[in-house]
Amino acid sequence: MAMIISCGEALVDLVPAPVPGGGPMNVAVTCARLGAPTAFVGRVSTDSHGKAIWEHLVTSGVDVRLTQRGPEPTCRAEVFGDPPVFRFHGEHTADVFVEPPDPDLLIGGPHLLHGGTLSIFREPGAGVLAELAESLDGIVSFDPNVRPQIIEPLGRDRWQPWFNRWCAVASLFRASDDDLAWIWPDRDEGDIAAELLARGIVALITTRSVDVTVHTAEGHITVPVPPVDVVDTVGAGDSFCGGVLTQLWERHIHTIGALATVTLSEWREIVAFAISVAGITVRRRGADPPFVGDLST
């Protein structure tokens, strides 16, 4: 059966108490809570933080057969302010030592594969995940979710080749307006969209605090974000991505060809759903996306 596979880091966000987090893991949790069959490819520590992460995955309904365990410590992210600023403690942590998943557990696609954030450039795991994205049929969703405070001290040249590999295989690209400004400084969003579409991206989704824009070969649409009482924006973009992926799965859009047939009118509906998912997440402390039953309350 086709499923959503999110791959990358699982960590704890210190807000200030530790809560399970990490962009790709948050996406997996969101999709599973919304009712889509979802697996997480990553390595989770056996330390106390890792045990909390594991329980979080299992109780959220994520398929953990592709999730590995290891004795290395859990990556920690201190979160300051809003919009959040992160300070990472991630030397030799479990997430970077992820190994190739058992291919027998990947049959039955085409699947929707999602990746991004720290996992795309932190070696040695970065190579494992890039090869996974390059080898699977189906839709590859990419959210760079840029963390300049981590990338810039290492040097942009450490990040750029991995970003390029994911762009080469991605068909769905989500980025915040801040991400676009960092990746392509002083360039117009429409110009960036034209370049990505020419390179094979089927849809670019740009998120801002007030609206979301989708660019496709058909054109573009912008959907407003209704105001909500924000408690914490950690995980907002991840839960938005989860909402989009869940909608694609429910609509049986599992291949690049099918993705290319999605009209702007349909994208408006998909994005509106994802905005509603993120709108619940930001009203909670930490990355705590809703279950499907929460959407009607």
Contact 204, 192 (CB under 8 A): yes
Q: Does 83 score more than 80 pLDDT?
A: no
Sign of CA dihedral 33, 39, 41, 46: positive
Where residue 230 sits, what CATH number does that domain have? 3.40.1190.20
Give the C-alpha separation, 239 to 29, whole Å.
8
Give the C-alpha separation, 62 to 37, whole Å.
8
The number of domains in the chain is: 1
- Predicted confidence (pLDDT) per residue in 178-193, tens digit: 999 999 999 999 999 9
Q: 153: which 2 tokens?
A: 């001290």
Burial of 284 (0-12, 13-18, 19+ CB in 10 A): middle
Query: If we measure between CA atoms, which residue out of 157, 101, 104, 98 comes closest to residue 127?
Result: 98
- Predicted confidence (pLDDT) per residue in 122-149, tens digit: 999 999 999 999 998 899 999 999 999 8
Give the C-alpha separation, 295 to 97, whole Å.
36
What's the whole-model pTM score? 0.95
The pLDDT of residue 199: 95
The values of phi and psi at residue 242, to 5°, are -60, -40
Angle at 195 between CA 24 and CA 199, to 5 degrees: 70
Domain that holds residue 275: 4-296
Residue with token string 């795309």: 120
Give the C-alpha separation, 200 to 15, whole Å.
38
3-state secondary structure 113-173: EEEEHHHHCCCCHHHHHHHHHHHCCEEEEEECCCCHHHHHHHCHHHHHHHHHHHHHHCCEE
The values of phi and psi at residue 90, to 5°, are -135, 25
Give the C-alpha separation, 190 to 8, whole Å.
29
The pLDDT of residue 297: 56
- Predicted confidence (pLDDT) per residue in 236-282, tens digit: 999 999 999 999 999 999 999 999 999 999 999 999 999 999 999 99
Give the C-alpha separation, 240 to 9, whole Å.
18
Give the C-alpha separation, 110 to 254, whole Å.
6
User: What average pLDDT score do residues 100-115 get?
Assistant: 93
Which pairs count as long-range contacts for 210-215, CB under 8 Å and 24+ apart, including other chains?
212/240, 212/271, 212/274, 212/275, 213/189, 214/264, 214/267, 214/268, 214/271, 215/189, 215/190
Give the C-alpha separation, 276 to 227, whole Å.
11
Q: Which of the pair, 150 or 131, is modelled with greater confidence?
A: 131
Angle at 179 between CA 151 and CA 2, to 5 degrees: 95
Q: Does 213 score more than 70 pLDDT?
A: yes
Contact 124, 29 (CB under 8 A): no
